[in-house]
Amino acid sequence: MQFVERRFKLAWVMGLLPLGLLLLGFPVFLTLLATALVLLLFFMDVPLVQMHITMFGSVDKFGLMAVPFFLFAGELMGRGGISKRLVAWVLSVFGGVRGSLGLTTVGTCTIFGAISGSSPATVAAIGQIMYKPLREAGYDEEFSTGVLTSSGAIAIVIPPSIAMILYGTAAEENVALLFIAGIFPGLLIAGLMGIYIYFYAVRRGIREGGSFDFTTFIRATRDGIWALGMPFIILGGIYAGIFSPTEAAGVSCVYAIIVTRFIYRDISWKGLWNVAVSSMYLTAQVLIIVAAAGVFSWLLTVSGVPQILVRWIDMFEFEPWMVLLAINMLLLLVGCLLDPSSAILILTPLLLPLVQAVGVDLIHFGIIMTVNLSIGMFTPPFGLNIFIAQALFKVPLSRIYPGLVPFIIINIVTLLLVTYIPEISLYLTQFVR
C-alpha cells in the first residue's frame, strides 16, 4: 500500500511540477532539472551522481554534432545576402501567376528553410524583404502577416531539419531517412498553401506581376545559383553515400563560408566571427535542453510511465487511428507552449512505446511529430513565430491572429493527411532503406 501511495505521489509531482514551473516562466532546462532533482531527493533511492552521468550521456552522441554545424551554416547563409537572391529567383518563376508575391513568400520560405533549418530565422529573413511588397500589392495586413508567420514553419519540416536530428537522436532512428521522409510533407504544406493563396488573389482581384520573362529568370538563376545549390549538395551528398548527415553538416559550414565570404562577399571577417559567436549561444541553448531532457526522460523510463500507458492502451483496445488522433491533439497543444526542440526531447521517450504498441513506423511518427510541432510555431497564443512577426512588422496581435486562421486549418489538414496516409512520408524512403 505504501509503495502504491509513493508511486501515486511521484506521478503527480512528475506531471504538475514541470507544468507549474513553466507557467511561472522558468526556462525549460531549469524546469526539467528542478523536477528531476526533487524526484531524486524525495521519491527515489538513486544517488545524485546519476543525474550528472545521464546529462553527459545525453549529449555524448555523434549525431548531435550536426546541430552546431547546421546552426552555423544557417545563420551564415541567412545573414550573407542569401534571402534577397532567393526571393528574386522565386519571383522570377512565379512572376506571371496570380498571387505571385504570396506564392513567392511560400516558395522562398521553403527553400530558405532547407538552408537554415530555423523557423524564426526564416520569418525574420524573408519577412524583412516581403512584407512591404505584399502590402503595396494589395494584400491586407492580416493576410501578409499570416502568410509570412506560417510559411516560416515549413523550415522545421523540410530537410535538413534540426528537429529531425533531435528526434533521430532521441528515438535512435536514422536521420538520413527522416530527412528524405520530410521532403513530400514539406512540399505538400507549401503546395496547399500555394493553392489557397492563388484563389485568395483571384477572389480579391490582386494581380501584382507581369508575364514570365525568361531573361529575368536566367539572370536571377545566375545570381542565386550558389544559394540554391546548398540543399542539393547536402541532401545529394547524403543519399549518394558520400557523407553522413553529421558530415554533411560540416560540409555545409565550409560551403556557407565560401559562398558568403568569397563569392557573394556580403559578409566581412568580423561578421563571420559574430555569426560564429551567435551560433555558439544557440548551440548551448539547444544542448542544455538536450542534457536536461535526457535526465527527465530517464526518470520517466525508470518510473515505468511508458509501460503503464502501453498497458492502458491494451486494456481499452484503442485502435491505431484513435491513438494517433490523441497524440496529435496532445502535440498540437504542447506545440503552443514549448519550442519544437524541447517538446521532441521531452515527449519522444514517452510516446514511442505507445506508437510501437499500435504498429506505427517510427520514421513516419517522426514526421507526424515534426509537422505537429511546426504548427505550434504559429498557433496562438504563444507560437514563437507570432512574436517574431509582431516585433518585425510592428502589428498588434489582434491583427496577426485572424490572418493565421486559414493557414492553421491548411496545416492541420496536411497533418491529418500525413498521419493517416503513411506513404506521403515513407514512399521515398523505400529507395534508400
> Residue 9's pLDDT band (boundaries 50, 70, 90)?
low
Q: Is the pLDDT of residue 298 over 70?
A: yes
Asked if the model's pLDDT at residue 127 lies above 70, the reply is: yes
Length of the chain: 433
Alpha-carbon gap, residue 374 to 389, rounded angstroms = 16
Query: First-to-last CA distance in the chain?
Result: 50
Confidence of residue 134 (pLDDT cuts 50, 70, 90): confident
In the structure, what pLDDT confidence band is assigned to residue 1 with cuts at 50, 70 and 90?
very low
Residue 109 is placed in which grid cell? 520560405
**Residue 178 pLDDT:** 93
Lowest mean pLDDT among 35-49, 122-136, 190-204: 35-49
Residue 210 has pLDDT above 80, yes or no: no
Compute how many other C-beta atoms are within 10 angstroms of the C-beta atom of residue 103. Answer: 25
Q: Helices (DSSP H) in 160-268: which residue ranges?
A: 162-171, 175-181, 183-204, 214-239, 245-257
d(CA 103, CA 90): 8
Q: 51-55, 169-173, 180-184: which has the minimum mean pLDDT?
A: 51-55
Query: How far apart (Å, rounded) are the C-alpha atoms in residues 351 and 171?
Result: 10
pLDDT at 316: 66
Q: Which three cell numbers stand for residue 300?
A: 520517466
> Contact at 8 Å (CB) between 336 and 401?
no
Average pLDDT for the chain: 84
pTM: 0.84
Helix (H, G, I), strand (E, B) or coil at 51: helix
DSSP letters of 216-239? HHHHHHHHHHHHHHHHHHHHHHHH
pLDDT one-digit tens code per residue, 281-294: 888 888 888 888 78
Q: Tell me the pLDDT band of 32, cut-offs 50, 70 and 90.
A: confident
When pLDDT is averaged across residues 71-82 and rounded to a whole number, the result is 78
